[in-house]
Amino acid sequence: MTAPQKPVLLTGASGNLGRHLARSLGALGWKLRLTDIVPFPDPLPEGASFVKADLNEGLAIARLAEGCGAILHFGGVSVERPFEEVLGPNLRGLYHIYEAARREGARVIFASSNHSIGFHERPEGNQAKLDFDDDFRPDGYYGLAKAYGELMGRMYWDKHGVENVNLRIGSCFPQPIDRRMLSTWLSFGDLARLAERCVLAERTGHAVIWACSNNPASYWGRDHRERIGWAPQDSAEPFRAEVGHITADPVTERYQGGGYPAMEYSRKTPSPRDAFSLDE
């Protein structure tokens, strides 16, 4: 069992994914610094500490990151919300994370999202799957903030050499709960193993990984998982008989982002497959 030599900062530690990572990585003997804007609801893992902090407070984030070798950034607004609610924690807060990483020479593992590409249509038949370098097509303010976060990582890598891994998380739940998740599901176990490899990999550069389990129906293709030595072990396929239903909303069923593209959707006809095309 290998543990990082330096402490690891985990933001968003009180959220569903943060709590799971705290338990899983703490059980491996990692020295974790946990933080969130709300108290940590579970017993602290051995060797872990918790400090309540706001991502908008740059000095607080800088202090938490002192001496850390990696930052698992799972903090911020985690669902679609109005722009003003997303702005502070998800945009300004991410800047504070990257400035702290730059000062400490730390690697950032950013919890991005499939909603950064959510307006890509779902592939059908022999259509090609989406690759990591295909265009961003965010499906709301939340997804837009995730696209911003990945671009910030690219800029900090190009300008400052800050390594970062951007995890385009699909649907991380105990098990798939609808038909779309047969393509997007990420098990808790695969998430923990992915985070572990992101921190322990010798080098990452600027990397993008489709964070989903080994789902035959996945929408997604090439990424940088070989760079960190990760392969998912679980699959949504055993749940197919339980979640095979289709929703009644054609927008939800058309796009990879599921219900997010349908929120406040006002187009009369679907957007084109090529975002820059006039054809619809």
98 catalytic residue (yes or no): no
Cβ(129)–Cβ(219) below 8 Å: yes
| Per annotation, catalytic residue among 98, 142, 148, 260 | 142
Spatial distance between the Cα atoms of 40 and 74, rounded to a whole number of angstroms:
14
First and final CA of the chain: distance in angstroms?
Answer: 54
Catalytic residues: 142
